[in-house]
Amino acid sequence: MDTEHQAPPATPAKPVYVVAAHPNWRESRVNRRLLQAALATESTEVCDLYARYPDYSIRVPTEQAQLQDAQLIVLLHPVQWYSMPALLKLWVDEVLTHGWAYGGGKALQGKDLWLVATTGGPEGSYHPQGYNRYFFDAFLPPYEQTAALCGMRFLPPLVLHGAHRVDSAEVDTHVAMFAERLASYPQWPELDDMESCPACVVPDTDRPAHETVGDQH
Ligand SMILES: Cc1cc2nc3c(=O)[nH]c(=O)nc-3n(C[C@H](O)[C@H](O)[C@H](O)COP(=O)(O)O)c2cc1C
């Protein structure tokens, strides 16, 4: 057999895809550590979004292929203005396309989406009497419903509040928990009891009458 000219075996796809978005890693105290933990995890593919696309020119087919290979998609980022950093929002806008991710598209159906986020505000600030006025959960529906529209389960988020000030032992514990979770997915106890996501079908009557390819929502 001519072994010399055989194609090398394809690298098996990794089950976890971490999309890490931080506009300024040099000033990061916590997300940088979480990124390092993800990079050190064998089962995990990592996209450092601001490094990969410094010109904001996202390669949609590349991202879609990586998502398709994964079973768990992790969004890792600091909370900015109660939401995700701008480039991650652009990634969502451009990669989760109609006909691929939703609206007849089923590329992400049955996968899991996990938000791993940090906030500057301490936990107590996310309270009706605190300066952020709402419990943190009140800011999650856009993530949760994005997952649902694409047929993904939205796993319980991992959030570290007060990221500037929590003591370093708490940061260490948090990073260790993240690393352990990545490495042990899908053997997470809470997943056994989680139902699959409800079907969210967008009727044609909610779409533009003369839709062209690439239109969104
Ligand atoms: C532009 C900007 C907006 C921010 N908005 C929020 C916010 O809405 N809520 C909050 O708790 N912290 C906010 N922060 C603080 C970041 O969440 C905090 O710096 C980050 O979580 C710390 O993580 P790091 O050490 O990895 O950078 C904001 C920071 C920046 C730069």
Q: How confident is the model at residue 209 (pLDDT cuts 50, 70, 90)?
A: confident
Q: For the chain, give the DSSP string.
A: ---TTSPPPPPPPPSEEEEE--S-GGG-SSHHHHHHHHHT-TTEEEEEHHHH-TTS---HHHHHHHHHH-SEEEEEEE-BTTB--HHHHHHHHHHS-BTTTBTT--TTTT-EEEEEEE-SS-GGGSSTTSTT-S-GGGG-HHHHHHHHHTT-EEPPPEEESSTTTS-HHHHHHHHHHHHHHHHHTT--GGGTTPPPPPP----GGGS-TT--TT---
Looking at ligand 1, which residue's alpha carbon is closest to its atom 18? 120
How many Å lie between the centroid of ligand 1 and the Cα of residue 115? 15
Atom of ligand 1 nearest to the CA of 82: 8
Give the pLDDT confidence score for residue 195 in this predicted structure. Answer: 87
Q: How confident is the model at residue 22 (pLDDT cuts 50, 70, 90)?
A: very high
Give the pLDDT confidence score for residue 210 in this predicted structure. Answer: 66
For each of the domains in the chain, give its residue range(s) and CATH number, in order of start.
16-189+198-206 (3.40.50.360)
Indicate if ligand 1 lies below 6 Å from the C-beta of 120.
Answer: yes
Indicate if ligand 1 lies below 6 Å from the C-beta of 126.
Answer: no
Tens of pLDDT, residues 108-154: 999 999 999 999 999 999 999 999 999 999 999 999 999 999 999 99
Tens of pLDDT, residues 30-84: 999 999 999 999 999 999 999 999 999 999 999 999 999 999 999 999 999 999 9
How many Å lie between the centroid of ligand 1 and the Cα of residue 182? 23
Indicate if ligand 1 lies below 6 Å from the C-beta of 119.
Answer: yes
